[in-house]
Amino acid sequence: MDIWSFDAPGHGKLTTNRPRGQWTLEEWADASAMYAEHVKAETGLPVFSLGSSLGVAAAYVGGILMGGASIPGTPRLEALAPLWRSPDVQKLLAALGRSARLDCGIFFNFDEDYGFAGAGEQKRLDPWNTWTYDLASWGSLFTFEPRIPVTENRKPILIASGGKDPTFPPEIMRKAAAAIAGPVEYYCLEEGTHQLCYFTPNISRRKSMNGSCSTFKGTHHE
């Protein structure tokens, strides 16, 4: 099994043409699709995309989704979409520009998500982590309309989460899985926390990836 990875637009090292924390989900999803095509051309193997946490938003079209329910078109995101798409909110974001930001270190409790004290400070040791998002970039998570709606999905998807994940507990993940058409499987690792990709990296191999294949993951260094 080959494993390929890339930084999402506006994250990590993929910030040569814009400030860090500036991105849209549309370009992130497009980058995932183009990278999958590249990996397929290079290896000739079946390709599964793997997204963890927020990364599931860009990896949902035929892949492995770990520890996140932010899947475009599912009820959780669609419930907030009208607010973010409203003319008033769009005018406000345009007026404030980059001064309106989401502070990831405050918005997310990494100690709680990762299941141990000091996780947040440990993440700050990585100079490539992204700690603020333009609010308009964050809003694109809710305004993005995928080319293939989840109700028309036909590709295999494995959704996995930790039974001890405080952000996306099993009941939320089951609802996300139920909203997606096609061959979808939900798996709960009872002892797992939020970041299965970090702490239980062999879950995908154990569950559904026997044989030869390529996997790539789009890291976002949040």
- pLDDT tens for 117-165 read 999 999 999 999 999 999 999 999 999 998 889 999 998 899 999 999 9
- Give residue-wise pLDDT tens across range 60-90: 866 888 889 999 999 889 999 999 999 999 9
- Assessment of whether the complete model's pTM goes beyond 0.95: no
Count of beta carbons in the 10 Å neighbourhood of residue 143: 20
pLDDT score recorded for residue 203: 60
Residue 96 CA to residue 136 CA, distance in Å, equals 9
Span 175-189, mean pLDDT?
A: 92
Residue pair 65/51 in contact (Cβ under 8 Å)? The answer is yes
pLDDT score recorded for residue 206: 56
Asked if the model's pLDDT at residue 219 lies above 50, the reply is no
- Give residue-wise pLDDT tens across range 93-120: 999 988 999 999 999 999 998 888 999 9
pLDDT score recorded for residue 61: 66
The residue extents of the domains of the chain are 2-219
Asked if the model's pLDDT at residue 3 lies above 70, the reply is yes
Diameter of the chain measured on Cα atoms: 52
Q: Is 134 left (phi over 0), alpha (psi -120 to 50) or beta?
A: beta
Q: Which two tokens stand for residue 10?
A: 């506006």
pLDDT score recorded for residue 212: 41
- Architecture of the structural domain at 2-219: 3-Layer(aba) Sandwich (3.40)
In terms of Cα–Cα distance, which of 138, 126, 171, 169 is closest to 12? 126
pLDDT score recorded for residue 202: 63
Asked if the model's pLDDT at residue 25 lies above 90, the reply is yes
Residue 13 CA to residue 9 CA, distance in Å, equals 9
pLDDT score recorded for residue 89: 96
Asked if the model's pLDDT at residue 32 lies above 50, the reply is yes
Q: Tell me the average pLDDT of the chain.
A: 86
